[in-house]
Amino acid sequence: MRAKILLLLLLISPCFAQSRGERIDQLIAENQLQAAQKEVTAWLAAEPENPEAHMRQGHVLYLMGEEVQDPAEAARLRREARASWLKAKQLGCRDALMEQMLAVVPEDGSLGQRYSHNPEAEQAMLAGERAFQHHQWEEAIVCYDRALAVEPNLYEAVLFKGDAYLHQGSADQALACYREAVDLDPNRETAFRYWGNTLLKQGDSQAALDRYLEAIVAEPYSRVAWERGLMRWSEATGADLRIPKIDPPTSLEGDNIQVDPDAPTMAAWLTYGLTRAVWKNEKFGRQYPGQPYRHSLAEEVEALTSVVKVADELQASGKLSATDPDLELVRELHQKGLLEAFILLTRPDRGIALDYEDYRRANRARLVEFLRLYVVH
């Protein structure tokens, strides 16, 4: 990931009545790092426990590390940047960009190879980074093309070239680059999201929505795909976003099935816990021989489907007169063939998430359809 340019791109925003943090963001975006450092130092002197100040100190230190030529000094600055981000997190900051940076920068401050194992492509990409940071858009494009001449399928080179075109004012060429990056790797969210951002700026909110939904399908468990994609679209258009949820009145705790005796549809929901118990004790071992038990997509689908089947049987026999919103939602999703998408996108745990890639491979359109019908309002 291009961490430095990611910072610059995400912090560039029009500022009018600026807060202190926004002023620092603007200085960072303009590569005025010394001025930004002076601002953030004064902020921390006045408010030493302010998480936003510590977060921005991390951004400034990281970018300063990218400017120095001495590898040891660069690593030291990156370590200090990481310490500032961790302090911000400790104080309660929950920023998606900061989380990304923490994931990118190792504890020792080293970065190693960033883009390619091919030395020529790597050097061209680093030269493009330097040109981009100094707003030398044409030079950056030349560098990214040089990297692509050596490694034609280098996702970052195509993506970053699109960014340079966009800042140069060539939106159509930027969009072409984003489309090309998507073709290279449709399971990375960044190109979809940048594509959507460009369309949104052009006023094509519907096409932008399509790209933002595809970004989520590419990486559904990335906060950035949601917060800096679909949520940006929601804020720009005024549309509501609501994640549908269910809260089954029965669950599997260890080897025990917990049931809410006051639930009007308890008899139907009881099968949810029973089905999951069968999977844990018997069926998982048959379906996935040799693997330790985990909560799987297949288990959750069967457990929820069993609730619908039993409820339908009880209603048909007159033994179940009441229903509940959770049951109706599960029934509707089951009828539309969207139950798997619902589970993977709104109810994943670590076990279920392992089944996402296999499902997406043949069902990308269903995942987009679920988001469009049930999340966007």
CATH code of 138's domain:
1.25.40.10
- The whole-number pLDDT of residue 267 equals 79
Least Cα distance to 163 among 2, 19, 347 occurs for 2
- 44 pLDDT exceeds 90? yes
Q: Is the predicted pLDDT of residue 265 greater than 80, yes or no?
A: no
Show the domain range for 225. Answer: 119-237
Cβ pair 370, 216 in contact under 8 A = no
Cα–Cα distances in Å, from 286 out to 81, 140, 289, 352? Answer: 49, 55, 6, 17
Classify residue 245: in a domain, yes or no: no
* Residue 123 in tokens: 């050097």
- The pLDDT confidence band at residue 3, using thresholds 50, 70 and 90, is low
Do 261 and 229 share a structural domain?
no
Indicate the residue among 104, 139, 173 that finishes a domain. 104
Task: Say yes or no: 137 and 217 in one domain.
Answer: yes
Q: Among 10-24, 53-67, 72-86, 183-197, which stretch is predicted with the lowest mean pLDDT?
A: 10-24
pLDDT at 17 over 50: no
Contact 52, 21 (CB under 8 A): yes
State the Cα–Cα distance between residues 17 and 270, nearest whole angstrom: 56
Same domain, 170 and 205: yes
Answer yes or no: is pLDDT of 200 > 60.
yes
pLDDT in tens, 104-115: 788 998 876 678
pLDDT at site 54: 96
The span from the CA of 247 to the CA of 250, in Å, is 9
Are residues 194 and 285 part of one domain? no
- Mean of all residue pLDDT scores within the chain: 89
**Do 351 and 261 belong together in one domain?**
yes
11 and 99 part of one domain: yes
Q: How many CA atoms lie within 13 A of 150 on its CB side?
A: 17
CA distance 151 to 119: 11
257 with 370, same domain: the answer is yes
Does 229 lie in the same domain as 127? yes
Nearest to 59 by CA among 111, 163, 32: 32
Gap between the Cα atoms of 56 and 314, Å rounded = 59
Roughly what angle, to the nearest 10 degrees, separates helices 51-67 and 20-29? Answer: 10
Judgement on whether residues 232 and 271 belong to the same structural domain of the protein? no
Structural domain count, the chain: 3
Please count the other Cβ atoms lying within 10 Å of the Cβ belonging to residue 105. 21
Residues 261 and 304 in one domain: yes
* 127/228 same-domain check: yes
- Its sign, for the CA torsion 307, 313, 319, 324, is positive
Question: Is 276 within 8 Å of 299 (Cβ atoms)?
Answer: yes
Residue 222 CB coordination number (10 Å): 20
pTM: predicted TM-score of the whole model, two decimal places? 0.74
Let me know whether 218 and 329 are in one domain. no
Reported as a pLDDT band with limits 50, 70 and 90, residue 80 is very high
Q: At which of 195, 213, 237 does a domain end?
A: 237
| Any domain includes 37 | yes
